[in-house]
């Protein structure tokens, strides 16, 4: 089921998640019956957020809580604080939260471009747990690079000039539903040739109308530039 485009107010339409679902789950449960995790009053909690969805991007909403991102995809990053965190397919974030005291604290994952959401609840002993609406009050914005641009690797890859650079251009759209890399469509693609031991730079260019995550399966890699701006970004990996 294809979703329609979202108008960004400037006349530009952006395609969002291309598949819709009957339900969105956090630890296999919806907000009609969410998982309630017991925590101690004033505790420090480490959340390991994993987007196991195959075709959905989320905004993690910590509600009244402030979180500190300390790792991305299992690789440590310099602490970044926030209450709303974008999470695309296959990405993982480790977030530290210091609970302010007693109570029930919902953690939401809202689908980009939609009101639908799922989540869990952190609750101290004896706290009243209210029923939560399964839809937010307004649509979420498209997932963006607002967090990615703030992440800095604690253990970056060794500085080294790339031996080879490959440019990979994403193009395509919803109608017709077809996506290409460098003008070629799977499975009829030309391999990018590299050699063992080379330092390889991949410049990914998105010419589609979707904020599309790009995955380097089975590799650890570092983000070194965003929209032409050099960064000492996060080290990431995508499970093979």
The tens digit of pLDDT for each residue in 19-39 reads: 889 999 999 999 999 999 999
CATH number at residue 76: 2.60.40.420
Query: Is the domain of 113 the same as that of 28?
Result: yes
Query: Is the domain of 139 the same as that of 169?
Result: no
Q: Tell me the pLDDT tens digit for each residue of 106-138.
A: 999 999 999 999 999 999 999 999 999 999 999
- Looking at every residue in the chain, the average pLDDT score rounds to 91
Is residue 7 predicted with pLDDT exceeding 80?
A: no
Is residue 16 predicted with pLDDT exceeding 90?
A: no
Within-domain flag for 116: yes
Contact 5, 13 (CB under 8 A): yes
C-beta neighbour count of 174 within 10 angstroms: 17
Q: Tell me the pLDDT tens digit for each residue of 131-144.
A: 999 999 999 999 99
Q: Is-above-0.75 flag for pTM?
A: yes
Q: What is the pLDDT of residue 218?
A: 81
Query: Is the domain of 189 the same as that of 132?
Result: no
Confidence of residue 238 (pLDDT cuts 50, 70, 90): confident
Q: Tell me the pLDDT tens digit for each residue of 143-201.
A: 999 999 999 999 999 999 999 999 999 998 888 889 999 999 999 999 999 999 999 99
Q: What is the pLDDT of residue 3?
A: 47
Q: What is the pLDDT of residue 115?
A: 96
Residues above pLDDT 90, as percent of the chain: 80
Q: What is the pLDDT of residue 11?
A: 45
Q: Which structure tokens are listed for 239? A: 């499970």
Query: Is the domain of 172 the same as that of 142?
Result: no
Is residue 13 predicted with pLDDT exceeding 80?
A: no
Query: Is the domain of 120 the same as that of 189?
Result: no
Q: What is the pLDDT of residue 210?
A: 84
CA atoms within 13 A on the CB side of 12: 9
Q: How many domains does the chain have?
A: 2
Query: Is the domain of 136 the same as that of 175?
Result: no
CA distance linking residue 70 with residue 14, whole number of Å:
31
Within-domain flag for 158: no
Within-domain flag for 233: yes
Residue 204's domain comprises 164-237
Among 98, 113, 147, identify where a domain stops: 147
Ordered DSSP codes for 132-170: --SB-SSPBPPP-STTGGG--BSSPPPP---SEEEEEEE
Query: Is the domain of 65 the same as that of 120?
Result: yes
CA distance linking residue 204 with residue 227, whole number of Å:
10
Confidence of residue 6 (pLDDT cuts 50, 70, 90): low
């Amino acid at each position: 089921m294809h979703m329609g485009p979202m108008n960004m107010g400037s006349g530009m339409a952006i395609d969002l998640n291309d598949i819709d679902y009957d339900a969105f789950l956090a630890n296999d449960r919806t907000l009609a019956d969410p998982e309630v995790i017991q925590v101690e009053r004033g505790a420090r909690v480490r959340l390991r957020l994993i987007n196991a969805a195959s075709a959905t991007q989320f905004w993690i909403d910590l509600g009244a809580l402030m979180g500190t991102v300390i790792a991305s995809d299992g690789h440590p990053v310099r602490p970044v604080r926030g209450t709303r965190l974008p999470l695309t397919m296959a990405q993982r974030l480790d977030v530290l939260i210091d609970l302010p005291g007693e109570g029930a604290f919902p953690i939401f994952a809202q689908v980009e471009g939609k009101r639908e959401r799922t989540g869990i609840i952190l609750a101290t002993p004896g706290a009243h747990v209210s029923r939560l609406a399964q839809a937010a009050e307004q649509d979420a914005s498209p997932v963006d690079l607002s967090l990615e641009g703030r992440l800095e690797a604690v253990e970056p890859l060794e500085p080294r000039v790339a031996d080879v650079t490959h440019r990979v251009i994403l193009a395509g759209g919803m109608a017709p539903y077809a996506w290409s890399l460098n003008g070629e469509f799977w499975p009829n693609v030309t391999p990018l040739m590299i050699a063992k031991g080379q330092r390889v730079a991949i410049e990914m260019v998105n010419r589609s109308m979707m904020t599309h995550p790009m995955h380097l399966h089975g590799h650890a890699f570092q983000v070194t530039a965003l929209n032409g701006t050099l960064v000492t970004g996060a080290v990431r990996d995508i499970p093979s």
